[in-house]
Structure 1
Amino acid sequence: MKIAIMGAGAVGCFFGGMLARAGNDVVLIGRAQHVEAVERDGLRLEAQSFDERIGHPHLSASTEAAAVAGADLVLFCVKSTDTESAGASIAPHLRADTLVLTLQNGVDNAERLRTVIPQDVAAAVVYVATEMAGPGHVRHHGRGELVIEPARGSLAAALALIEAGVPTEISANVRGALWAKLIVNCAYNALSAISQLPYGRLVEGVGVRDAMQDVLAECVAVAHADGVTLPPDVDASVQRIAQTMPGQYSSTAQDLARGKRSEIDHLNGFVARRGAALGVATPANRLLHALVKLIEDKAHGTI
C-alpha cells in the first residue's frame, strides 16, 4: 500500500516504520528537523525486539501536507488540538477513495475530522508506549495494538497492519473502546505530567491509586450518561497499564517536559465539559485539568 503518516511524532513514526519495514510505501509528514534526519539517515526504529534504520526506497519524509497525494491510507496522528487545521490542509490532496484513520487521543477526533474531510474517516484506538528519542529516532517501550472502526478500506488497512506485525482488529464498538482508552488517559496522563513520573513509579505514590479510582468512576458515570457501551474490564485495563508500561511517561508529561501545550483539554477537560453538559459531577477530572493548565500557562508566561 501507499501510506501517508500525517503527524510524524512518536506514534506515527512507530506505525509508519513498521509498515515501511514490511515493504509498504510510506511517507512521514512532520517537522523540518525530524524530516531532515529521516531523509538523511532513515528512521531509526528502536523496538523491543530489533533496532533498525528504515529509509528509501520504502520510507521517505516531507514537511508538506501535499505529500498525502496518491495515498491509499492516511494515518492521522496529529495532536487533538490540531485536528481541524491539519485535516483541512490534507483534504485537497486526498484521492476520493483514500481512507483516513485517526490514531489520536480523545473520543471525538473522527467526528471533528469529518467536518473538513469528505473522504472516509475511521477512528482507531491506539495502545502503544513510544517516545521520540531524538530527530529521526523513535523508541518503542511496549504494546502496539490497534482497534479500528469499520469503514470502506478498513479491512485492507487492518491486513496491511497485521502483515507489518501490528496486532489489529476491527470492532463495531470503537466508541466504547475510545472511551475506555480515554479513561486510561484521564487516570494516568495528568498525574504523570504533574509529578513527571513514569506509570510504574506513579502508582506507588501515597493516595494515587485511590485518586485514580475517583477519576475512573467519574469517567464511567459520564460515559454511561452519554449512552456509551464500555468494555467490561475498564477497571482492570487501568490497573494493567502500570504493569505493562512501567517505564512510560504519559504524552502529557512529555509535552510539559518540552514546554509544549498538551492535549489535556481533550482528556480530563473533555470529561469535565461533557459531565457538565450531562449533569454529572466530575470534581477529580476538573481539578486535574485545572492543574495541568496552570503548569502550561506558567511555562508560557500567560499567568
Structure 2
Amino acid sequence: MRYIIIGAGAVGGSIGGRLAEAGRDVVLVARGAHLEALQRDGLRLLTPDSDLRLPVTAVSGPRELGELRRDDVLILCVKSQDTANVLNQWALAPVAGGGTAAELLPVVCAQNGVENERTALRLFQNVYGLCVWLPSVHLEPGVVAANCTPQSGILTVGRYPDGIDDVIKQIGHDLAESRFDAPVVDDVMRWKYGKLLNNLDNAFEAVSDLSSDEELAERLIETGREEGIRALNAAGIPFVGAAERHAVQGDRMRFTEIPGAPRGGGSSWQSLARGTGSIETDYLSGEISLIGRMRGIPTPVNALMQRLSARFAAEGRAPGSLPIEELAQMVRDVQDSAN
C-alpha cells in the first residue's frame, strides 16, 4: 500500500512520518510554506525519543501524482470544514488501469468529529473511520511534533458505517508497526462519538486560558460535556465512555513535553495560533448543537462556544485571550436564559 496523507499538519504529519519511518511508501499533501519546506528539506518529526528528518514525497494535490495507483490509500487529515472541498479534488483523480479514486480507492477519515465519513460516502465507495488519539503540534513549516511515548498514539480504525474488511485489517497492521496502537473494530463510530465528547473542550481551550483557574475550567468544560451526553442519549447514539477509553489506553501513551516544540493547545487552539481564519468547532460543539436541536434538547453552552470560537477565528484573535471569569459569566448567562 502507498499512503497518501491529505493534510500533513500535526496529525497527518505524525501519521505519515511514523509510517515512513517504518518503511511504508508515503506521500504527504500540503500547501504553502509547509509544502515548500517538505519538498526542500523533507519532514522533520520530533518525538520524545528522537529528532527525525524524513525524505518523504510531498505534493499539493492529485495532479502532481498523475495516475494514482490501485494500492493507494487516501488518509484524510484536514479539518472538517475543509473535507468536502478536498474530497472533490481527489474523487475524480484517475487510477492506473481505469476508474477513479472515488470508485476504487479507500479513504480513511483520520479527523475529529463525526460528519466527515458521511461526507466522504457521498463520493467514495469505500470509506473508513479512524478515531484519533494523537497529541501533536504543527506550528512551523516542515516540522511536526508527536508528544506521546512509547506509542505515539492510539488510532482505532474500522469500516464506515460499521464492519471490518481485509483493507482495514492491513491498514491497522501497518499503523501498528509504526509506533501506534491501531485496534480494528466493527463499531468505529462509537469510538468517534466518544472522542467527540472529549473534543468539546477544544472551544473552551481556544478562547480562554484554562490554566489560569483549572478548577473553574473543568467545571465549565463539564457543562458542555453534560449537554453532549444528554443530546447523544436522546438521539440513541452509542459512544465510548471515559472508563473504556482509559482501559484501552493504559500507560502506552504518556504525554511528554518536547524541548523546542511547546504544545500550547489542541487542534482548535493551533488553528487560532496559526491565524488560519477558520476553526473546526462547528463540527464539535456545533455537532452537539445540531443533535440537540434535532431532538429538542437544549445545548446553550455548546452553542455559545461554537459562536465564540467562530468569532475568534474570523477576527484573528489570539487563542486564550478571553479571561476565564468573563467566559464563566457568559456560560451562566446562557444557562439562565435556557432555564
Change (3 A) 1:86 1:236: closer
Q: Which residue of 2 aligns with 1:130?
A: 136
Cα displacement (A) at 1:259 = 2.2
Distance in 2 between residues matched to 1:2 and 1:85, nearest whole Å:
23
Amino acid across the alignment from 1:82: D
The answer on 1:87 being equivalent to 2:87 is yes
Q: Which residue of 2 aligns with 1:3?
A: 3
Distance in 1 between residues matched to 2:59 and 2:314, nearest whole Å:
31
Q: Which residue of 2 aligns with 1:217?
A: 226
State the 4+ residue runs in structure 1 displaced beyond 3 angstroms. Answer: 234-237, 243-248
The structure having more radius of gyration, on CA atoms, is 2
Q: Which residue of 1 aligns with 2:186?
A: 172
Q: 1:276 aligns with which of 265, 273, 293?
A: 293
Q: Which residue of 1 aligns with 2:325?
A: none
Change (3 A) 1:173 1:88: same
What are the residue-to-residue correspondences of 1:60-79 with 2, within 5 Å? 60-66=57-63, 67=65, 69-70=68-69, 71-79=71-79
Q: Which residue of 1 aligns with 2:281?
A: 264
Equivalent pair of 2:43/2:54 in contact (CA under 8 Å): yes
Classify the secondary structure of the residue corresponding to 2:146.
strand
The answer on 1:115 being equivalent to 2:131 is no
State which drifts further: 63-72 or 263-272.
63-72
Amino acid across the alignment from 1:189: N
Change (3 A) 1:217 1:100: same
TM-score, normalised to structure 2, is 0.79
Equivalent pair of 2:139/2:274 in contact (CA under 8 Å): no
Q: Which residue of 1 aligns with 2:202?
A: 189
Distance in 2 between residues matched to 1:245 and 1:3, nearest whole Å:
27
Distance in 2 between residues matched to 1:131 and 1:244, nearest whole Å:
12
Equivalent pair of 2:147/2:255 in contact (CA under 8 Å): no
The answer on 1:160 being equivalent to 2:177 is no
Distance in 2 between residues matched to 1:41 and 1:274, nearest whole Å:
45
Amino acid across the alignment from 1:85: N
Cα displacement (A) at 1:263 = 0.5
What count of residue pairs does the alignment treat as equivalent? 287
Change (3 A) 1:171 1:132: same
Q: 2:242 aligns with which of 233, 238, 256?
A: 233
Distance in 2 between residues matched to 1:144 and 1:159, nearest whole Å:
14
Distance in 1 between residues matched to 2:243 and 2:273, nearest whole Å:
29
Distance in 2 between residues matched to 1:65 and 1:234, nearest whole Å:
41
Change (3 A) 1:156 1:9: same
Equivalent pair of 1:6/1:65 in contact (CA under 8 Å): no
Please report the RMSD computed on the Cα atoms of aligned residues, expressed in angstroms.
Answer: 2.3
TM-score, normalised to structure 1, is 0.87
Residue by residue over 1:32-55, the C-alpha shift from the partner in whole angstroms, topping out at 9 and shown as x without a partner, is 322221122111010111111011
Cα displacement (A) at 1:236 = 8.0
Residue by residue over 1:59-118, the C-alpha shift from the partner in whole angstroms, topping out at 9 and shown as x without a partner, is 200012333821521111111011111111111222854221101111121011111223
Distance in 2 between residues matched to 1:147 and 1:129, nearest whole Å:
15
Cα displacement (A) at 1:211 = 1.4
Equivalent pair of 1:141/1:248 in contact (CA under 8 Å): no
Equivalent pair of 1:72/1:97 in contact (CA under 8 Å): no
> Which ranges of structure 1 fall in alignment gaps of 5 or more residues?
none
The answer on 1:141 being equivalent to 2:157 is no
